[in-house]
Amino acid sequence: SYELTQPPSVSVSPGQTARITCSGDALPKQYAYWYQQKPGQAPVLVIYKDSERPSGIPERFSGSSSGTTVTLTISGVQAEDEADYYCQSADSSGTVVFGGGTKLTVL
Amino acid sequence: EVQLVESGGGLVQPGGSLRLSCAASRFTFSSYGMTWVRQAPGKGLEWVSAISGSGGSAYYADSVKGRFTISRDNSKNTLYLQMTSLRAEDTAVYYCAKVYCSSTSCPTVGAFDIWGQGTMVTVSS
């Protein structure tokens, strides 16, 4: 199986831009997905297919891909964005992998 | 509102068995792949298993292969996870989730757009 690597933590002040990266050798061939998880709650899908945003997700959430790295960008970070963020991918053999997660702290 | 509700969690001794259920409502259950994801206390998300909409294809993480079995009853709109030979390291909140389908594709695994609230499984003597 393959791995997805995320930084353990990212800190940003309110109103600034947060960027969370996810790296993996399989990412040039597979889509990446991003989830937000707040304490005691189930994960919420915020980005699919590298850069698509589900309905109901604020426009300040965006995704991009370049080579073996995908990036979740949160523009104009708000206090409510403080959460754990996970990247995820899946291959054609049915294997699903999650990154280790990144704790976003809003200072 | 589309909803998934897990049940069946609890305390079980090492080596024991448990069956989790996930009841789905307000969507055409048989049209969607489903998955189980777990989260150990204070840890990250770990994929466990996935099954196609028809139930004809199933996939497992190496950590549970041979011990866990995923299944579904489309007539009851319910997903299951039969867990045997349980170990302390299986202790986690277990979530079921529905695969996201676009207008052009509906894979068995991909993004997961609807999640249940989770059910806690504790393996301890």
Select the residue from A22, A96, A98 to test the B interface by mutation, using most B Cβ atoms within 10 A.
Answer: A96
* Mean pLDDT value across chain B: 96
Residue A66's nearest CA partner among A24, A19, A20, A28 is: A28
Query: Under an 8 A CB cutoff, do A101 and B44 touch?
Result: yes
Report pLDDT for B124.
97
Q: In chain B, whose CA is at the least distance from the CA of A57?
A: B113
Which chain B positions have a beta carbon within 8 Å of A88's beta carbon?
45, 47, 111-112
Report pLDDT for A74.
98
Report pLDDT for A91.
86
Summarize pLDDT for B20-33 with one digit per residue, the tens.
Answer: 999 999 999 999 99
Report pLDDT for B105.
82
Min mean pLDDT across A66-70, B15-19, B75-79, B105-109 is at: B105-109
Is pLDDT above 80 for B62?
yes
A31 and chain B in contact, CB less than 8 A: yes
Q: Which residues of B touch A (CB under 8 A)?
A: 35, 37, 44-47, 50, 57, 59, 61-62, 95, 100, 107-113, 115-118
